[in-house]
Structure 1
Amino acid sequence: MKMLKKTNKEVLQKEEAAFATAARIKYYDIVLDHGQGATVTDIEGHDYIDLLASASSTNTGHAHPQIVKAIQEQAAKMIQYTPAYFANSQAARLAPRLAELAPMSGPVEMVWGNSGSDANDAIIKFARAYTGRQYIVSFTGAYHGSTYGSMTLSRVSLNMTRKMGPMLPGVVKVPFPSPWERLVGETEEDFVDRMFAQFMLPFETYLPADEVAAILIEPIQGDGGIVKTPPAYMRKVYEFAKANGIVFAVDEVNQGMGRTGNWWSIQHFGIEPDLMSVGKSLASGMPLSAMIGRKEILESLGAPANVYTTAGNPVTTAAANATLDVIQNEHLLERSQRLGAKAEEFFKQEQAKYSFVGDVRMYGLDGGIDIVDPVTGEGDSDATTKLMYRIFELGAIIISLRGNILRFQPPLVITEEELDRAFAMIDQAFSELAAGKLSAPANAEELGW
């Protein structure tokens, strides 16, 4: 007797009884079943072009044959033995490869984690141990993870602190120089000077620089809107850190692993960090992260200060070794640059056609597209929700950030044909919005960050 397939709605209703609201940011009522390259398919058989890449954690695409093979072969040999006690052949091969790729000179070491959150927690641990200082400085708009340490470092949603305080002590937030903070008619130089003055205010009033262990920044903020730190501002912060013995740390969890056309987003600035967190696409979405840094900092703690039972296990590190091979052999850095330029050209053309398309930021295949009210220039969350939902109906997965920003991060293996089809869907949605043909879904107020 043939079994009837269940619908997305049926599976979600059953899951809802056992799944907490806090564990998912709501967007679309689909249950994903499988994927290949830049396409994902739900349990009802609907295909979607993936413009999110699982929050930039599948830069090599879905079910890449080489990565699948590496996982299968390793799983048949050994799935798990804790790296907390013994090395395994895959992790032992991966560690020096990552150290060699690190954008820092001199001896480099690393530690494993299960997620980007773990890696950012490790930054707190090692920076405090190395400097003997307590304070950590991070930025508004940042997303660093959901463990208590990384969550305290973040400032992208009130629900990451609401009802959960007190948070980790010793963390100080400063304003991120996002483009929305820039005044009308303000030059880039004046904007940088003004924002750096705000950065300096805590140090001049209540935060002794000689008690600060680390400054942690996303060179290109991800969940904060896909926005690059102004290079002159980054240089000022870096020089301040160096002048005051402060560890300069960068979060590459979202923006690393080739996403921006370089291995690491900090490489767009000509600056060497002291510590760096990596995750998401490190193992093509398998649960693995790393915190990489200068040896003298990494040697400031002894075991078991940063060991996890499953972090760096044979299967996840096999996936990561295969991921590095795919990125290198398929020239995905160059591909991100080339297709990113094509995407930027498309969105600039849309900007010229539609007055509700505001700022377009593209760094490789990594973009934030502001949707604004044409009259006021302010962000238009209602229009953004209508657009992303219509694009989804047309057959592509895209989400919003900060309410009014379309997040464009397809897998780096996306074909030009898929990209062109996605552009056609986006243009159709834009055209329909301009014609007043789009309406918001019934649950619009529930969707997004």
Structure 2
Amino acid sequence: MSQNESLLHQETQGLAPASRIKFFDVVLKSGKGAILTDADGNDYIDLLSSASSTNTGHAHPHVVKAIQDQAARLIQYTPAYFATEPEIELVKRLTALAPIDGPTKLAFGNSGSDANDAIIKFARAYTGRQNVVSFTGAYHGSTYGSITTSGVSLNMARKIGPLLPGVVKVPFPSHWDKLSYETEDEFCDRLFAAFKQPFETYLPADETALVEIEAIQGDGGFCKAPARYLNQVYQFCQDHGILFAVDEVNQGLGRTGKMWSIDHFPDVHPDLIAVGKSIASGLPLSAVVGRAEVIDSLAAPGNVYTTAGNPVTTAAANATLDVIETEHLVERSAQLGKKARQFFLNLRDRYPFIGDVRIYGLNGGIDVVDPITKHPDETAASMLITRLFELGVLMITVRGNVLRFQPPLVIPEETLDLALQTIDQTCADIAAGKLAKPTHKIGW
């Protein structure tokens, strides 16, 4: 029995099945840059970045040193009672970077999930209204508020309810819902009409606190909302005194080739954003950042956590922001993203089972489809990522058939080239009928 198998057998005795989505039998031992090593000593090129939580790569020396230095001084004292120097520095830097107009403040949390919960709390407090609108296909997290506003998996509702009251979901303008005869404007207008329907029939706009959206959905399939549609929704919120929030947990901090995903929409100015995952290079830290008057609407202990914004995680976050700035990771994501996009478009031209390609920076989704019907092909997608894993490239799927492409923003270009060559080789093997079908369900 290998080390991977032995360790996983031990874990199986005590780990809840609800806590991990099944992909590959591997125990990760170490990582450096864009390379991961498992318990058996096998290396993998990482095209997932720990679900976009390690944009600076694994064990970046500047981040590691910041963590080590701070841990030697003070590991933890609860920010619920007292401030620390790295936390104060991060407050200044993150509020200055946030895509929020006017004076800006923040509140820290431990995960993207509780940051999205906090958005609900602050919006209700500021507006005095109860109702919240989110979108199908959304992934906002697993705490009760964020799992309620999510809409990407039935297992995020099954056996868990009743969920948070006052939450209404409307259709996200996903590209696969566009009808063949529709123009882009017609599609946007039809989806905007669907957005307005609840407000015209049972949901009073003057009792609605918040609309929250992923401007570019992540786990929902890496689909960017059309600008016309997002502008319409934003203007509706402006007209009716509804706060507009953007979940930047997955798509922020340079992932899309811009610092924030909402930067792709210059006419939209959010009232609140949720930040997490990569803000501390994967350490448990998040924040809700918003207009100062909105954040000021709650008093302590309305959003207090024992470890949120503690000395080590905020030191890591300051170092992470250093790396993003000094290594020009936003620009690098945009530049290498263009190369990756062209590769996948060329792949689509050569292999009929590659469908729509959506790449925004070093980030995106590639549909795997039936060559004849063009319907999603989960089996072929699972075959592809399984073979990639065997060849030393770590890639997963979302929605069953969408390849998730999110390498660390520090990935060397030659390493990216090798990963893309391996994807090409694997597609050739599928086209030649060389790969076996998986024996069990893989992924979401």
* Structure 2 equivalent of residue 31 of structure 1: 27
* Structure 2 equivalent of residue 304 of structure 1: 301
Give, as a single letter, the amino acid of the residue that structure 1 aligns with 2:178.
R
Shift of 1:105: 1.7
* Of 377, 382, 390, the match for 2:379: 382
* Structure 1 equivalent of residue 89 of structure 2: 93
Identity of aligned residues (%): 64
Separation in 2, partners of 1:265, 1:393: 33
Give aligned pairs, total: 443
The answer for unaligned runs of 5 or more in structure 1 is none
Separation in 1, partners of 2:99, 2:119: 16
* Structure 2 equivalent of residue 448 of structure 1: 443
Matched, 1:360 2:357: yes
Separation in 2, partners of 1:163, 1:290: 29
SS in 1 for 2:282: coil
The answer for unaligned runs of 5 or more in structure 2 is none
Separation in 2, partners of 1:62, 1:200: 44
Moved more, 5-14 or 413-422: 5-14
Q: How does 1:93-242 map to 2 (within 5 A)?
A: 93-242=89-238
Separation in 1, partners of 2:364, 2:155: 25
Separation in 1, partners of 2:215, 2:388: 29
* Structure 2 equivalent of residue 317 of structure 1: 314
Separation in 1, partners of 2:158, 2:145: 15
Separation in 2, partners of 1:10, 1:220: 39
Report Cα offsets for 1:319-342 as digits up to 9, x if no partner: 000000000000000100010000
* Of 48, 69, 84, the match for 1:52: 48
SS in 1 for 2:199: helix
Give, as a single letter, the amino acid of the residue that structure 1 aligns with 2:443.
G
Shift of 1:99: 0.5
Matched, 1:427 2:424: yes
SS in 1 for 2:206: helix
Report Cα offsets for 1:382-408 as digits up to 9, x if no partner: 110000111111110000010110000
SS in 1 for 2:367: strand
Instruction: Normalising by structure 2, report the TM-score.
Output: 0.99
Q: How does 1:264-343 map to 2 (within 5 A)?
A: 264-270=260-266, 271-343=268-340
Shift of 1:216: 0.2
Separation in 2, partners of 1:337, 1:155: 29
Shift of 1:272: 1.1
* Of 259, 263, 281, the match for 1:263: 259
Instruction: Normalising by structure 1, report the TM-score.
Output: 0.98
Shift of 1:440: 2.1
- What is the CA RMSD across the aligned residues, in angstroms? 0.8
Shift of 1:24: 0.2
Shift of 1:186: 1.2
* Structure 2 equivalent of residue 400 of structure 1: 397
Separation in 2, partners of 1:345, 1:199: 34
Report Cα offsets for 1:52-80 as digits up to 9, x if no partner: 00000000000000000000000000000
Separation in 2, partners of 1:171, 1:362: 31
